[in-house]
A and B are shown apart, each in its own frame.
Chain A
Amino acid sequence: MRKLLEIALGVLTAIGGFVDIGDLVASTETGARFGLGLAWVVVVGVLGIIVYAEMAGRVASVSGRAVFDLVRERLGAGVGLLNLAASFFITLLTLAAEIGGVALSLQLATSVNYLLFVPIVGLLVWLVCWRVRFELMDNAVGLLGLALIVVAVAVWRAHPDWGAMLHSATHPVVPGTESHAAYWYFAIALLGSAMTPYEVFFFSSGAVEQRWTRSDLLVNRLNVYIGFPLGGLLALALMVAAALVLEPRGIDPSHLSQAALPTSLVLGKLGLALALLGFFACTSGAALETALSCGYSIAQYFGWPWGKLIKPARAPRFQLIVLVSIALGAGLVLTTLDPIKLTEYAIVLSAAALPLTYLPLLIVANDPAYLGDKVNSRLSNAIASAYLVVLVVASVATVPLMVVSKAGGG
């Protein structure tokens, strides 16, 4: 019974945990500009994170080692350090975007300028990382994030033509108003938002800290196989809602309020309130996870004590990195850089950096010295290798596409 509860809780928090500011922005923007022409990328991205998150959880359960710990052991000190620098920078950028997202959600609810909320949000995120019952808070915001289901309800209640939607999702075309470069640029952004590296840093570090063992492999699989696809459905619902409401009206979303607009048009004030609650919870949870991931990556590379469950005084360097990262992230938002733009850059750069995280993970997942008989099956190796090719192509194409499409600007 206890196990069942644990599984249910894990799955539910994985649903809310999948969606963050990157998905809110990327799904809404692509839906508004390309209809369902990029829906297939969400499916590709969800399958990719499933394959690699399962691997990360399995490696953590069997070997007791978190992802960044192994990055250095497999890639060596030099390449590992460059990998660390890139991964840390991107996770920090994502943390800033999440803090901006929490503040924007609060602005939508209160009409008070978001910049006033930024220092408070930063302080609260730090307090939770410092000592306030982290697991409880992370589960709480994960569950509150389920309020986003209201977006799916709004899509349902709008009585769309399901047949036509399925057709446009399975026969993607680039709209006449958009360039091919912009189409592929946003495809990469969607991939980056689905497979953001911090998700596996956080997931594997959590598994190590909770001392997962071989007996937790089932819990790992259920979390990943059920939680992520349902999270992907929420991302798709955001895209469909934008395609139904924003695209016909020619609205190009440049503000978070437009992600909530379809829901509030269909379901009224209550719908809007629930959508905003969902935005707030998802971005808060992701802010906590990215803040800790900043600490995980550096501490694990250098072999220092880390963890959110041990006394801060026993992992002082880890806690110091988390504190400084939150301050830097909040500081970046306070420069009045547009949080939506910040999010776009964070997810596109994430996409460019994906092979850095996933290649070492794939190598370790095939090494019997770490995994014994739990090494990758042929099927998961075939899928994972195919993904690695896709990730490398996306990574190489990112900067040229960014230049040609002027960062997606129409």
Chain B
Amino acid sequence: MAQRLDAALELLDRQLVDKDGQLAGKVDDLELTDPGDNPDPPDVTAILTGPAALAGRLHTPVGRWLAKAAARLLAPGHQQPSRVPLDQVEAVGASIQLKVAAGQLDAGAGEARARRLIGGIPGAGDAAQ
């Protein structure tokens, strides 16, 4: 994928959609190559997602605290961002299509925990009418 994109504008904060069409979080941060002495802009190597990735990108203490609180509440024990290498990206558009399932991402842990919490309530598996 040697595509040229304005990463800040066309990747960051976009919606991730997994291989089954399910919403899978947002592009919370990007992993870049170390530019070293190279004057060219660095390349994007992976998409980072999850509240931990978000906290790393926020510059205000309040924002960072909010993101960390969200991470702790929803995915305790998973303080590392999920990493999606670019070769796992199917297409980039209004949303980012992935080749993997949401459950395979680390950020899926928060989803699984929430499902355990509410899964015992009768009707959790029924669609509303």
Contacts and interface: CB of A to CB of B under 8 A. Distances in A.
A23 B25 CA distance: 36
B14 interface: yes
A310 B119 CA distance: 14
Interface string B87-99: 0000000100000
B13 A80 contact: yes
B44 interface: no
Given A82-B62, A303-B26, A320-B114, A76 B13 contact: yes
A330 to B, nearest CB: 17
B128 A303 contact: no
Contact of A78 (B23, B63, B111, B129): B63
Interface string A280-307: 0000000000000000000001111110
Contacts, number: 102
A69 interface: yes
Name the interface size band of chain A.
35 or more
Nearest to B115: A316
B60 interface: yes
Name the interface size band of chain B.
35 or more
Contact of B114 (A85, A134, A316, A369): A316
Given A303-B25, A309-B127, A313-B124, A77 B119 contact: no
Interface string B70-95: 10001000000000000000000010
A308 interface: yes
B94 A308 contact: no
Contact of A317 (B57, B66, B114): B114
A30 to B, nearest CB: 35
A302 B26 contact: yes
B126 interface: yes
Contacts of B28: 77
A131 interface: yes
A130 interface: yes
Interface string A70-92: 00110011101110010000000
Nearest to A307: B128
Given A78-B58, A323-B118, A302 B51 contact: yes
Interface in B91-128: 94, 110-111, 114-115, 117-119, 121, 123-128
A73 B129 contact: no
A272 B25 CA distance: 49
A125 B39 CA distance: 59
A316 B111 contact: yes
A313 B119 contact: yes
A81 B64 CA distance: 10
A370 interface: yes
B127 A311 contact: yes
Contacts of B52: none
Contacts of B60: 78, 82
B15 interface: yes
Contacts of A76: 12-13
Contacts of A94: none
Contacts of A312: 118, 121, 123-126
B59 interface: yes
B14 to A, nearest CB: 7
Interface centre among A78, A85, A305, A308 (most CB of B within 10 A): A78
Given A303-B16, A304-B25, A311 B63 contact: no
A25 B117 CA distance: 38
Contacts of A133: 128-129
Given A136-B129, A312-B123, 18 more contacts: A63-B94, A69-B15, A82-B60, A82-B63, A134-B128, A303-B15, A305-B22, A311-B124, A312-B121, A312-B124, A313-B115, A314-B22, A316-B115, A316-B119, A316-B124, A317-B110, A317-B111, A323-B118
Closest 8 CB pairs of A and B: A316-B114, A303-B26, A316-B115, A303-B25, A317-B114, A131-B123, A313-B124, A305-B23
17 contacts: A69-B15, A72-B26, A76-B13, A78-B60, A81-B63, A82-B60, A85-B66, A302-B26, A304-B111, A308-B128, A310-B127, A311-B127, A312-B118, A312-B125, A317-B74, A317-B114, A320-B117
